[in-house]
Amino acid sequence: MTDEQTMDGMENNDGIKGLREKLKSVEQENKELKSVVKTSLFKDVGLDPDSGTGKMAFDLYDGKPNTGELGSWLKENYNIDTNVQQNNEVAAAKIADSDDKLQTIQQNSVAKHLLTGHRKCKMLFQVETHL
């Protein structure tokens, strides 16, 4: 009987040790997932979680992963208006889009101008050859 009790005790210890290791693994994974969600949340409201005010707020924020709640928390505690930052990002995107459109228009204008110039030269050449 003492051998059986010793074996059962060892199996229980291994089982408990295995459960502790599994718990640590799950807790670490949970911590990493929360960090990824939190990083995405801060980027969604226009703050860089790796530098400046964004990093400070990232380290202190322990609320729910909700942009509205984060925006309220930032406004109440640090007077940071995330709506303005989001609007700035929208404006930057619109400016970049406008720049792309302008560049396309300019490229098309140059191509047509060159083509028109080429046609004029061709026409002059044809006129000179007929004279």
Does the global pTM surpass 0.95? no
Check residue 131 and give its pLDDT: 55
User: Is residue 49 within 8 Å of 42, Cβ to Cβ?
Assistant: yes
Residue ranges in the chain whose pLDDT is less than 50: 1
Check residue 99 and give its pLDDT: 80
Check residue 95 and give its pLDDT: 79
The sign of the torsion formed by the CA atoms of 95, 97, 103, 106 equals negative
